[in-house]
Chain A
Amino acid sequence: MIEPVEDTIVSRLSGVRRIAIVPALNEAETVASVVSEIRSFDPDFEVVVVDDGSTDDTAERALEAGAKVLRLPLNLGIGAAMQAGYLYALERGFDIAVQVDGDGQHDPRELGRILEPMLDGRADMVIGTRFAGARTYRAPIARSMGIRLFAAIVSLRVRQRMTDTTSGFRAVNRRGIHVFAGQYPHDYPEVETVVTAVRGGLRIAEVPVEMRLRSAGRSSITNVGSVYYVLKVLLALFIGLLPQGKVVKR
């Protein structure tokens, strides 16, 4: 059963080389269904699962489901895992890359909404947000405040209203693939990537999407981790306000 809006999006995608990057750490239970959901949204989507050093059968399940698998021999963290996906996308000459979490909280049926502004040529990067528009996501109060604080700071930095910079449900075009393959922030990267994108000259759009409760696993952000998360992101944003230093390629 395909809704008309999706139908047109998928037909407009013909001839566009597209890839879904799925970062996964110990998501053996959900990764296969994420892969097949992306394929059922659009069978021509290449899916690459980046296994960030899982100790379970994530990589095997992903292969069985028909995905390409980049298996990092060490756990590098989500940022470096995503960058590996973008490097792969760049190397293989993909035109569009979407990010879909391996834990099932991003619904691939929403990809149509995320791809639309890019296909219209209105944006180089599209972020699926849980807040813009009348949507149903309700975060715990502390998390919601954190998300809004980051959104406010990032909005100031990029001179554009952003509502949900912590969302990892995203799409970029070839230009964006280039920017992120070259530079991708490390731990807890979502907020900083918005700044990276703007510095890289990308035009960003937000679209409202529904997100599901995760069907397995838990948020990477724990209580102890959240203190580090907030401080780290604030420091990175502050550094981001300073004139850009010369990047030394090591």
Chain B
Amino acid sequence: MSVTLFAALSSLVIFAVIIELIRRGRLRERYALLWLGTATVILVFGLWRDGLNELADALGIAYPPNALFALAMAFVLLLLLHYSTVISTLSDRTTTLTQRIAILEERIRELEGDTRPLLRDVSRPPGPGGK
């Protein structure tokens, strides 16, 4: 099995998996687009051998299929970087929500004139001397 055929097949598998994930509502379209872009590029250069040779020449890569892997690698790195930014956003949002919850909880206690002990998280075991 030639490396181009392998690349083409694997990109087709990626396509199928991504489309299935979107169909089941497990993957949001905006993240899926990045993956689809990656798969498309691998597919195109996997099948279009002349284009790959040109690309390898231009990049100074002696063995053209390596250009394919380099390209795939670059896309994967971009995806990872993208995920790092997504994680940062999510963690900022968690922070904001957690702060709001604490402030709202305090406000509820105040409004209700609540003097009972604080409600403990059930997931958290009582500390030493805990109630």
Give A contacts to B, CB under 8 Å.
28, 50, 54-57, 59-60, 63, 68-74, 76, 80, 83-84, 87-88, 91, 186, 250
Interface residues on B, range: 20 to 34
Assembly CA distance A28 to B118 (angstroms): 14
Interface residues of B in 18-38 (CB under 8 A from A): none
Partner of A250, one of B92, B101, B102, B130: B92
Q: Would you list 5 pairs from A and B whose C-beta atoms are within 8 A, ordered by A residue?
A: A55-B125, A55-B127, A70-B99, A71-B118, A74-B98
4 A-B pairs closest in CB distance: A56-B127, A84-B99, A70-B102, A80-B95
Partner of B98, one of A55, A57, A63, A80: A80
**B106 on interface, CB distance cutoff 8 Å:** yes
Give B contacts to A, CB under 8 Å.
89, 92-96, 98-99, 101-103, 105-106, 110, 117-118, 121, 124-125, 127-131
**CB–CB B127/A88 < 8 A:** no
**CB–CB A73/B101 < 8 A:** yes
Partner of A73, one of B89, B106, B121, B128: B121
Number of A-B contacts (CB under 8 A): 64
**CB–CB A84/B103 < 8 A:** yes
Chain A residues near B129 (CB, 8 Å)? 57
Known: A56-B127, A250-B96; 17 extra A-B contacts, CB below 8 A, are A28-B127, A55-B124, A55-B125, A55-B127, A57-B129, A57-B131, A59-B118, A69-B118, A70-B99, A70-B103, A70-B106, A72-B101, A73-B101, A76-B99, A80-B95, A80-B99, A83-B99
Partner of A72, one of B98, B124, B130: B98
**CB–CB A76/B95 < 8 A:** yes
Q: Which residue of A lies closest to B100 (CB)?
A: A87
| A60 in contact with B117 given A87-B103, A88-B103 (CB within 8 Å) | yes
Chain A residues near B127 (CB, 8 Å)? 28, 54-57
Chain B residues near A76 (CB, 8 Å)? 95, 98-99
| A74 in contact with B94 given A56-B130, A57-B129, A57-B130 (CB within 8 Å) | yes
| A69 in contact with B106 given A74-B98, A76-B95 (CB within 8 Å) | yes
Q: Which residue of A lies closest to B92 (CB)?
A: A250
**CB–CB B89/A250 < 8 A:** yes
**CB–CB A60/B103 < 8 A:** no
Partner of A71, one of B95, B105, B128: B105
Chain B residues near A70 (CB, 8 Å)? 99, 102-103, 105-106
**CB–CB B118/A88 < 8 A:** no
Chain B residues near A186 (CB, 8 Å)? 95
CB distance from A145 to the nearest CB of B (A): 31
Assembly CA distance A91 to B130 (angstroms): 32
CB distance from A195 to the nearest CB of B (A): 19
Chain B residues near A59 (CB, 8 Å)? 118
CB distance from A14 to the nearest CB of B (A): 24
CB distance from B124 to the nearest CB of A (A): 6
